[in-house]
């Protein structure tokens, strides 16, 4: 069933009435306008949500197929230029201030009129007002809004650039630059979450890159707070998501949460890292897998956790997914501080070797000291006993021989010292030389 503009408004007015008022209105139309009576009768006592969904779908298709406003059309104090984009929520025009007070280039988004009965003009303005409170360099600023010729419009910052998808496809970008860009996008989404705003439709086409390479996030999902979010398996409801980046719970028509954006950001990270045919490293693959878990409870709790893990990968620090693996943490430390860690290792090893040498030297000195004391004691005993044996005096050669035997039998004397002492004892004694003469 297709609805024209007048017929759509008639059905909206009818469905806004209570059951008693509908009955009274039908009674009047049966007499005054049988054609309208026949048109509205099928909607009496029917489920309004599928009906509104069908009306919105028909109206949105008509809105997309047509051009709501011609160039140079004036909306209040703004003059529209050429169309620069369109999507499921509306059409975006380049625009300028037209009140002779300021010269300002802007972008104006005209919302589909078919959304008004489902969301409500007040809800649209409330969502737009919440967007206007966001102040982040990576979020396109919302300045104003209003109604002109029955059309709700939102005045936004004009971004002179291209979409993220086009940027990646046409301009070579380093791996580090892509991760830095992703971190800035996460920071913007985190800012929106702090202000109770869920984006609900994060994808490359909703991220603009300006001439300075700065990301600008646009097209927040204004239907995110509908109580009756549609199921993708039915034709009912407002299908305001992108198939590739939507989380499982979003496809099931459940209420959007921060984990919905976490999932989309995980998919966006995968797009950034695989757009050139390469595969992400093990750490980033784990981060993507964590962010895109099927169950929302298994994902990162906040965008901040996701952003921190990506920053840790960039800085070669351990990620939260593997924080209990001490070998992995050690590898991260080696990669992060190779030169200081190498120098520290050399210093520790050198100190250990020096300590071993010092201990060994001390033991050697102690043994030599003990051997010297034993030799002195031995010589003292020889001289003492030599004096007591006057009847049979001990010759010098005998004393040297006994000393040599004592030295060779002493375990505390090193081989070098033994050799030197034996050589010294083999030198002829002066008294011996005289006797021989």
Residue 109 labeled ligand binder: yes
Known catalytic residue at 160: no
Residues 311, 281: Cα–Cα separation, whole Å = 14
**Strand 105-111 to strand 161-163: parallel, antiparallel, or no bridges (unpaired)?**
unpaired
Crossing angle of helices 396-409 and 415-425, in 10° steps, is 170
C-alpha to C-alpha distances, 233 to 74, 147, 157, 251, 388, nearest whole angstrom: 41, 34, 36, 9, 122
| Catalytic residue (one of 16, 99, 201, 276) | 201
Residues 245, 266: Cα–Cα separation, whole Å = 9
The residue length of the chain stands at 437
Contact between 142 and 134 (Cβ < 8 Å): yes
Residues 408, 320: Cα–Cα separation, whole Å = 67
Query: First-to-last CA distance in the chain?
Result: 146
Contacts 24+ apart (CB under 8 A), 252-255: 253/229, 254/229, 255/229
Other C-beta atoms lying within 10 Å of the C-beta of residue 133: 11
Could you give the strand order of the β-sheet that contains 215-217, starting from the edge strand earlier in sequence? 161-163, 207-210, 215-217
C-alpha to C-alpha distances, 177 to 180, 184, 264, 266, nearest whole angstrom: 5, 11, 20, 17
CA dihedral angle for residue 57, residue 59, residue 61, residue 67, rounded to 10 degrees: -160
Which residues are part of the catalytic machinery? 201
Binding site as annotated, residues for ATP: 109
Binding site as annotated, residues: 109
């Amino acid at each position: 069933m297709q609805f024209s503009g007048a017929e759509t408004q008639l059905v909206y007015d009818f469905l806004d009435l209570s059951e008693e008022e509908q009955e009274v209105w039908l009674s009047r139309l049966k007499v005054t306008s049988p054609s309208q009576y026949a048109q509205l009768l099928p909607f009496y006592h029917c489920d309004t949500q599928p009906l509104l969904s069908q009306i919105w779908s028909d109206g949105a298709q008509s809105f997309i197929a047509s051009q709501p406003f011609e160039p140079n059309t004036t909306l209040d104090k703004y003059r529209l230029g050429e169309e620069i984009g369109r999507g499921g929520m509306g059409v975006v025009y380049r625009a300028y201030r037209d009140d002779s007070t300021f010269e300002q280039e802007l972008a104006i988004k005209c919302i589909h009129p078919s959304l008004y009965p489902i969301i409500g003009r007040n809800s649209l303005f409330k969502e737009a007002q919440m967007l206007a409170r966001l102040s982040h360099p990576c979020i396109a600023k919302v300045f104003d809004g209003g109604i002109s010729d029955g059309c709700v419009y939102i005045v936004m910052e004009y971004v002179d650039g291209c979409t993220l998808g086009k940027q990646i496809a046409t301009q070579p970008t380093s791996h580090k630059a892509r991760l830095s860009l992703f971190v800035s996008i996460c920071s913007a989404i985190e800012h929106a979450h702090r202000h109770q705003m869920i984006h609900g439709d994060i994808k490359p086409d909703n991220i603009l890159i300006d001439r300075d390479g700065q990301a600008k996030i646009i097209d927040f999902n204004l239907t995110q707070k509908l109580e009756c979010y549609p199921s993708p398996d039915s034709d009912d409801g407002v299908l305001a998501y992108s198939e590739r980046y939507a989380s499982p719970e979003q496809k099931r028509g459940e209420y959007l949460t921060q984990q919905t954006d976490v999932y989309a950001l995980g998919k966006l990270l995968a797009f950034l890292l695989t757009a050139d045919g390469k595969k992400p490293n093990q750490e980033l693959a784990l981060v993507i897998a964590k962010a895109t878990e099927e169950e929302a409870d298994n994902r990162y709790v906040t965008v901040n956790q996701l952003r921190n893990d990506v920053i840790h990968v960039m800085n070669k620090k351990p990620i939260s997914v593997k924080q209990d693996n001490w070998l992995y943490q050690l590898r991260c430390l080696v990669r992060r501080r190779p030169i200081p860690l190498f120098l520290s290792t050399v210093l520790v090893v050198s100190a250990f070797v020096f300590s071993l040498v010092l201990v060994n030297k001390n033991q050697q000195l102690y043994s030599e000291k003990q051997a010297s004391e034993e030799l002195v004691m031995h010589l003292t005993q020889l001289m003492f006993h030599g004096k007591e044996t006057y009847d049979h005096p001990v010759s010098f050669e005998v004393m040297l021989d006994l000393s040599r035997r004592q030295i060779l039998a002493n375990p505390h004397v090193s081989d070098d010292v033994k050799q030197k002492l034996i050589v010294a004892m083999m030198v002829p004694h002066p008294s011996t030389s005289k006797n021989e003469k």
